[in-house]
Amino acid sequence: MFDGLGSRLETALGRIRGKARLSAADVDLALGEIRAALLEADVAVPVINGFVERIREAAVGVQASKALSPGQQVIKAVNAELVRALGGDGFKITFASRPPTVILLAGLQGAGKTTTAAKLALYFRRQGRSPFLIAADLQRPAAVEQLRLLGEKASVPVYSAPTDPVSVAKSGIEEAKRVGRDVVIIDTAGRLAIDEALMDEISSISEGVSPHYTMLVVDAMMGQDSVRTATAFHERLSLDAVIMSKLDGDARGGAALSVKEVVGKPIAFGSTGEKLEDFDLFYPDRMANRILGMGDVLSLIEQAERTIDEEVAKKGAARLMDGQFDLDDFLEQLRQVRKMGPLKGLMGMLPGIPRELKGVDIDEKEIGRIEAIISSMTVAERRNPKLIDGSRRQRIAVGSGVSTAQVSGLLKQFGEMQKMVRSMGIGPASATKKQRVKASQKKGRRNKR
């Protein structure tokens, strides 16, 4: 998402970035391009007008500062406007002083409510809360089962009863209190459009349970339609926040940039894939940085922290330090990186990666191939790749269904990595002699197996 907007803004701002002085014509040209970029991204027109006006004001007074060039000041203003449009400070949930905190989810059919319910539950569980899911979608026959399965994946209990949505929601909250759960998430039936009967249903659930938060799940791919939907729901339900799903799609970003201004409610969470982990608080500042191509290192770091097994990483690091890092460790590290999600998504978060490269799909099959090759080696070979001569190479190639050249390629890659580690001063080359002797003794013992 936001790729088109990002590159158009980059072009518009690239022209003025380095300028020591901005003429009125420079400003007009840049603003015209910014307006066109926002229009193309499907941002609501009133939002665009305010956006461009505030940047114009900022651009007029730019000569004053010494720290930033006029061009940089305009870029800063654009960044500030993006943050503002995306919701400013972002959303923070306040938990009820008398638990459970009740969150009611609403949304159109297929918007992602049920998936989001489970994602939220997992999110809260990882925050140290004890969430509880209520399946109050009794319209679609398989809906309860769907939530039950997702709840199992998230290790969060799911409650349902074959009564009616309002009673289910009420008795579910009682049950949550009884078993001491502190956050309740209610999944409800979707509606195809703003259909009266279903609107009445969700309104009566809302009246029945007085949720602390009512959150609307909207599909980012729906563009301005999702903003209109949010407005209609807000009139009936009084929303507290929006959860934007399918941010991983190729939506142009207009919905995310318009919803706060048009509906007046922030985006609390964002969903970026079908897996339960593809979900996080929505950070307007980070998203703005990503749009402007500054990368999103914070998100990357947090994602790494969430998915990479700290124990495994520590073990790998320790083995690197004493020169014990072998092909098994190499494979384990690769698996950890792959757990972080599609490599394509990761590239988009790195700063300094040229925009042209961001869409490039790194061949994930390559990791699968490396896995196959290493799995075809004996334990001794993995520990000491030097053992691998021509005939062993041949055997490994046959075993893993690749060519011998591919086996050699992997060994070369691994050898280079070891060399690099040594040159960084953490491998055995930089270790004290005593450490080296100890390491090689260990290695000798291991290699006999």
Binding site for Mg ion (CB under 5 A): 113-114
Q: Give me the residue label for tokens 């978060």.
A: 349
The smaller minimum CB distance to Mg ion, of residues 123 and 414, is found at: 123
- Say which entry of Mg ion, ligand GTP, none residue 246 contacts (CB below 5 to 8 A, set by partner kind): ligand GTP
Tokens of 295: 């990368």
- Stretch binding ligand GTP (CB under 6 A), from 14-22, 31-39, 106-114, 339-347: 106-114
User: Among 115, 206, 289, 418, which residue sits at the site for ligand GTP (rule: CB under 6 A)?
Assistant: 115
For 288-317, b where at least 16 C-beta lie within 10 A, e where not — what string? bbbbbbebbeebbeebeeeeeeeeeeeebe
User: Among 15, 21, 126, 140, which residue sits at the site for ligand GTP (rule: CB under 6 A)?
Assistant: 140
Interaction between residue 122 and ligand GTP (CB under 6 A): no
Interaction between residue 110 and ligand GTP (CB under 6 A): yes
220 neighbors 249 (Cβ within 8 angstroms) = yes
Pairing of strands 183-188, 213-219: unpaired
Interaction between residue 107 and ligand GTP (CB under 6 A): yes
Cα atoms in the Cβ-side hemisphere of radius 13 Å centred on 323: 22
Interaction between residue 229 and ligand GTP (CB under 6 A): no
Q: Is the dihedral of CA 48, 75, 254, 118 positive or negative?
A: negative
The smaller minimum CB distance to ligand GTP, of residues 232 and 321, is found at: 232
Q: Name the CA radius of gyration of the chain, rounded.
A: 27
Interaction between residue 113 and ligand GTP (CB under 6 A): yes
Which amino acid is located at 31 in the chain? L
- Stretch binding ligand GTP (CB under 6 A), from 7-15, 64-72, 113-121, 365-373: 113-121
319 neighbors 246 (Cβ within 8 angstroms) = no
The residue at minimum Cβ distance from Mg ion is: 114
Closest separation in Å from C-beta 186 to ligand GTP: 12
The footprint of ligand GTP on residues 188-217 (CB under 6 A) is: 190
Three-class SS state of 27: helix
User: Among 114, 226, 229, 400, which residue sits at the site for ligand GTP (rule: CB under 6 A)?
Assistant: 114
Distance CA 114, CA 217 (A): 10
Closest separation in Å from C-beta 157 to Mg ion: 18
239 neighbors 104 (Cβ within 8 angstroms) = no
**Given the rule CB under 6 A, which residues bind ligand GTP?**
107, 109-115, 137, 140, 143, 190, 245-246, 248, 271-274
